[in-house]
Amino acid sequence: MSDNELSSKIIGAAIEVHKQLGPGLLESTYETCLAFELRQQGLLVQSQVPLPVVYKEIKLDAAYRLDIMVENRIIIEVKSVDELAPIHLAQILTYLKLSGRKLGLLINFNVPKLVDGLKRVVNSL
């Protein structure tokens, strides 16, 4: 399955979660439900994946955690905020760079229509 096909499946699952729950809940609720929905589709899903920082060739646990990693390829950063800010985009770009991954999805569930809270983020590696 290509990254585009996989990201489409993820977006479909996020839309289903949003349709069932609506806006206004905690990020952790959306994260748990989205991970469940993706697992129901038979995808490999990891939640709260530790992400070390490599500093001067030393791997340090800096307490970063990826919300969701799908098929060990796509990072999902879940938000429930009034609106996405530049810092949210910087956060997922940093996660992509630190993990060596190419594609991430920034999903803000605190919107009336989920399409308005979706950002596809590509790391140029």
pLDDT value, residue 12:
97
pLDDT value, residue 57:
80
pLDDT value, residue 33:
98
| SS3 call for 102 | coil
Mean pLDDT of 41-52: 94
| Confidence tier at 58 by pLDDT (50, 70, 90) | confident
Strand partners, 106: 77, 119
- Number of separate domains in the chain: 1
The residue that leads in pLDDT, 125 or 73, is: 73
State the chain's mean pLDDT as an integer.
94
Mean pLDDT of 96-124: 95
Cβ pair 73, 6 in contact under 8 A: yes
pLDDT value, residue 63:
74
pLDDT value, residue 52:
84
Expressed as residue numbers, the domain containing 91 is 3-122
Could you give the CA distance from residue 40 to residue 43 in angstroms, rounded to a whole number? Answer: 7
Q: Is the pLDDT of residue 56 over 90?
A: no
